[in-house]
Amino acid sequence: MPHSILWSVILAFHIISIMFWVGGTAYAAIIMRQSLSLLDPTQRNSVQLQSLGRFFRILMHVIPTALITGWLMILHEGGFAQAPWTTNLMQLLGIVMAVLYVRVLTGPFQKARRALRPQPALFDSIRNQTLVIMALGLIAILAASLGHPFL
Supply the CATH number for residue 97's domain: 1.20.120
CA distance 122 to 118: 7
Output DSSP code: residue 28: I
CA distance 100 to 136: 10
- Structural domain range at position 79: 5-147
Q: How far does Cα 127 stand from its chain's mean position?
A: 13
* pTM, 2 dp: 0.89
When divided into structural domains, the chain yields a total of 1
Task: Spell out the residues 6+ positions from residue 61 whose beta carbon is closer than 8 angstroms to its own.
Answer: none
CA distance 89 to 94: 8
Each of the 151 residues of the chain gets a pLDDT tens digit; together they read 556 899 999 999 999 999 999 999 999 988 888 888 888 888 989 999 999 999 999 999 999 999 999 999 999 988 888 889 999 999 999 999 999 999 999 999 999 999 888 888 999 999 999 999 999 999 999 999 898 766 5
